[in-house]
Structure 1
Amino acid sequence: MPDLSHHARRLRDIADALEAESQPNDDPFTPHPDTSKVINDRHTKRGQLNYAVPDVLQLQRRVRRYNADHDMSHGDIVAVALDTWLRAKGYPPSLKPSETDAP
């Protein structure tokens, strides 16, 4: 039979790693600092993200309105929303340092 204390330690280690990965703040929709850094870097390579979404949710209209109210690009709005959701579900990115970060 497996040692339960070993499993408890592993679960504690996993919980600690997840907590370190996501630092809660008052607004759960605040972008992760690493995500903000990537988005704000004008040299960040961009790729197109195309998915069919239900028209009834009016996502394109809502993104355009948010852009008009907050002057945040459409792509950045989508990137922050998806990154926040995926991090919350336990899927953080494995960000590699860019060439500009190299010493």
Structure 2
Amino acid sequence: MPDHSLYARRLREIADALDAEPQQTDDVLMPHPDTLDVISNRHTKRGQFNHAIPEALQLQRRIRRYNADTGVPHGDIVALALDTWLRAKGYPPDLTPRETDVS
């Protein structure tokens, strides 16, 4: 017959270990600090980003509305969203401190 107290103790240890692990939150939607540094630097070189996107998603309208509500520039909205998504998928940029400090 199995020792139930040993089994219960092991379950408590597992539960405690799971509680100690960081829980997934909306933090994956938070922009990376390096990205915020790049975007906030007024000397950051900028380029156009044009792609055909489904009109049904109304992304342009939604970006304009978000810009009107927050004052965040259109390009920064797109850059923040794409950078956050690509980082979450395992594709961070190759940034070095020198690239973010354009003289």
The alignment's TM-score, normalised by the length of structure 1, stands at 0.69
The residue type equivalent to 1:87 in the other structure is R
The answer to whether structure 1 residue 79 and structure 2 residue 79 are counterparts is yes
Structure 1: runs of 5+ lacking an equivalent: 1-23
1:10-49 deviation line (CA, Å, top 9, x unaligned):
xxxxxxxxxxxxxx87532211000000000000000000
Aligned to 1:35: 35
1:76-103 deviation line (CA, Å, top 9, x unaligned):
000000000000000000013138478x
Structure 2: runs of 5+ lacking an equivalent: 1-23
Aligned to 1:4: none
What's the % identity of the aligned pairs? 65
User: Judging changes above 3 Å, is the alpha-carbon distance between structure 1 residues 57 and 95 closer, same or farther for their aligned structure 2 residues?
Assistant: same
CA RMSD of aligned residues (A): 2.1
Aligned ranges for residues 37-56 of structure 1 at < 5 Å?
37-56=37-56
Aligned to 1:98: 99
Moved over 6 A (4+): none
Aligned to 1:9: none
Aligned to 1:60: 60
Which secondary structure state, in structure 2, belongs to the residue aligned with residue 43 of structure 1?
Answer: coil
Rg comparison, structure with higher value: 2
Aligned length: 79
User: Judging changes above 3 Å, is the alpha-carbon distance between structure 1 residues 60 and 99 closer, same or farther for their aligned structure 2 residues?
Assistant: closer
The alignment's TM-score, normalised by the length of structure 2, stands at 0.69
